[in-house]
Amino acid sequence: MLRGPWRPLWLFVLLLLPLPGAPEPSGASRPWEETDEPRSAWAWPGFQRLKERLRAAAALSKRYWTLFSRQVWPDDCDEAEEGAAGSPGWRLRLLGQRYLDLLTTWYCSFRDCCPSGDCRISNNFTGLEWDLNVRLHGQHLVRQLLLSTVRGYLETPQPDKALALSFHGWSGTGKNFVARMLAENLYRDGLRSSCVRMFIATIHFPHIKYVDLYKEQLKGQIRETQQLCHQTLFIFDEAEKLHPRLLEVLGPHLERRAPEDDRAESPWTIFVFLSNLRGNIINEVVLKLLKDGWSREEITMEHLEPHLQAEIVETIDNGFGHSCLVRENLIDYFIPFLPLEYRHVRLCARDAFLSQELLYTEETLDEIAQMMVYVPKEEQLFSSQGCKSISQRISYFLS
C-alpha cells in the first residue's frame, strides 16, 4: 500500500476505477462496434471513458467533501449539510465506506480531528481503571494512587511542572506491566506511539565515560518528542543504573515554574522511573505487618513510603538516589509494588492461559504456581520472581 503523500493520489485513482454494478458511460463504444473509419485521438474509446470518469469524480466532489467533513468534524454539521447528504445522485454505497474511512484515517494522521485535539492521544481512563482492577494482581496501593494521580494531572488545564512517578519493587511485581498499561490507555499506539519514549539504562546509556554525550542526546530526544506531541510519556527502566548527571537533564521539567522554553511544546509530560531498588525494604515492611496481624489490603502508603524514600536516599551504590531528582524532592510519588503471594501467581498463570487461548484447570494453575520459588525460607510467602517467567513455565509444562 502506498504511504505518505502518495496516499491521496492512490485514493483518487480508486475513485476512477469502475465500481461494481456501475453503468457504462453513455455513448461509450464496444470493441465489436468498432469500424475501420479513421478517428481522431480524442474519439478513442479509452479516452472517452476517462473523460466520463473525470466528470463523475468532479460531480461527486461536493457530496464526497460533505461526507468526509461530517466524519472529520461532526460538530460542524448543520441542517444544510444534512440535506445535501440526502440529495439524489451518488450514494455512499457506490463510493464505498472503505474509501472514505481510508481517507479519514490518512487525514487524521497529521491533522487535529479528535476530541483530544490529537488522534494519537486517547486518555482512556475507563480502560486504565479496568486494567488496574482486572489485569493487575496484588497491588492495591498502585490501583488507589495511579489512576487518580495521572487523571488529575492530565485534566489540569496548565500544569506548572511535569509529573514524576517512581515505581519500586522486586522483579516480576508488575512495574513494567503498569508502565505498558499507561502507554496503552493514554495513547492509541501504546509504546509504539510517537508521543512515548522508553529508555533502558543498560541499553541506551551503558558507558559512564559517555555521560555528557548521553545528556545531549537525551535532551534532544525529549525536546523532539515534546515538539511532536502536546502530551508525552517518558519511561526509564533500570532507573537505579542511571548516572546522576544524566538525570540533571530532567530537572528543568520537574521544577515548578520551570522556564517556558523547556516545556512550551508539551504542557503535559509524565516521567515514569522503574527500579528494583529497595524492593527488599518493601518486602521486609510487608512481612512484618502481616506477622503483626495486618491484612495485605490494610497496608497503606503511610506504612511504606517513608521507609522507601529514606532508603533510596541513603543507598550509596546507585545514581538515582543521589540525583537532583531525589535530593531536591522532584519526584511526586514513590509507588511501592508489594511482593506477590501464591494466590497472585495463580491469577497470573490463569491470565497467561487465557491470553494464549489455552484450556486450564484449577489443578493446572496450582502446578504452575508451585513451580515458583518462595521466600523467606521459613515462611515461603512471597514469589522470588513475582509473576515473571510464568509464560515460559506454561510452555515447559505443556511441552
Higher per-residue pLDDT: 20 or 302: 302
Q: Give the integer Cα–Cα distance in Å for 302 and 300.
A: 5
What pLDDT does 134 receive? 97
The whole-number pLDDT of residue 156 equals: 94
The stretch 369-381 carries a mean pLDDT of 94
- Using alpha carbons, select from 209, 208, 233 the residue that is nearest to residue 222: 233
* Most confident among 74-78, 175-179, 390-394 (mean pLDDT): 175-179
The mean per-residue pLDDT over the stretch 279-300 comes to: 95
Q: What is the DSSP string of 52-80?
A: HHHHHHHHHHHHHHHHHHHHH-GGG--HH
Answer whether residue 62 shows pLDDT above 70. Answer: no
Q: How far apart are CA 81 and CA 87, in angstroms?
A: 10
The per-residue pLDDT for 201 is: 95
In this prediction, what percent of the chain has a pLDDT beyond 90?
A: 56
Residue 312 — very low, low, confident or very high, per pLDDT cuts 50/70/90? confident
Q: Tell me which DSSP letter residue 33 carries.
A: G
Does 80 score more than 50 pLDDT?
no
Please report how many Cα atoms fall inside a 13 Å half-sphere around the Cα of residue 363, on the Cβ side: 0
Would you state the pLDDT for residue 399? 76
Q: What does the alpha-carbon distance between residue 174 and residue 387 come to, in Å, rounded to a whole number?
A: 8
How many angstroms separate the Cα of 39 from the Cα of each of 25, 35, 44, 48? 19, 9, 7, 13
Q: Is the pTM of this model over 0.85?
A: no
**Distance (Å, rounded) from C-alpha 164 to C-alpha 246?**
16
18, three cell numbers: 469502475
Find where cell 499507561 sits.
182
Please report the pLDDT score of residue 53 as a whole number. Answer: 62
